[in-house]
Amino acid sequence: MSNETKITRRGEASGSGEALDDISTQLIRDKSNQVIGKLTVVEGPGAGNSVNVYSGTNQIGRGNDMRIQVNFGDDTISRQQHAVITYDAKNLEVRIYDGGKPGGLWVNGNRITADQAVKFGDLIKLGETTLKLEQA
């Protein structure tokens, strides 16, 4: 018998849950306001402006409810989740996902239709705006 605290969903057999440490770490990581980088507009409306990228999940769009708001005058960027960028602190990995919006998502000139790992220095194009992923 393990001394770890387990969390189970209603109706699950005792002992089939996950360790509390695993879940609490995941919750903290997903809601963290730790800045891990920034997106700087290098081409298009708002050139020179930067927005922070945080640990965890970052929805990108023009809407006020987006974690990364890129409302610099490019109406070809969707208001709601044009793309999603994530930072996994455990694996030290940044990934970007296409939100399926018109205009698409491009990384270093290549059309992205699924998720892809990205690194600092990569160019990300949303609509008519090109952003550079930079260290904070």
Pairing of strands 105-107, 129-135: unpaired
pLDDT at 26 over 70: no
With 0.85 as the threshold, say if the pTM is over it. no
Cβ count within 10 A of residue 4: 11
76 and 104, same domain (yes or no): yes
Query: What is the residue range of 69's domain?
Result: 35-135
Helix%, strand%, coil% for the chain, nearest 5? 10, 45, 50
Q: What is the CA radius of gyration of the chain?
A: 18
| Tokens of residue 110, six digits | 């290549």
103 and 63, same domain (yes or no): yes
What CA–CA distance (Å, rounded) separates 114 from 102? Answer: 15
Q: What is the pLDDT of residues 96-129, one digit of tens each?
A: 999 988 889 999 999 998 899 999 999 999 999 9
94 and 117, same domain (yes or no): yes
Residue 78 has a pLDDT of 93
27 and 50, same domain (yes or no): no
pLDDT bucket at 89, cuts 50 / 70 / 90 = confident
Residue 27 has a pLDDT of 43
Residue 102 has a pLDDT of 86
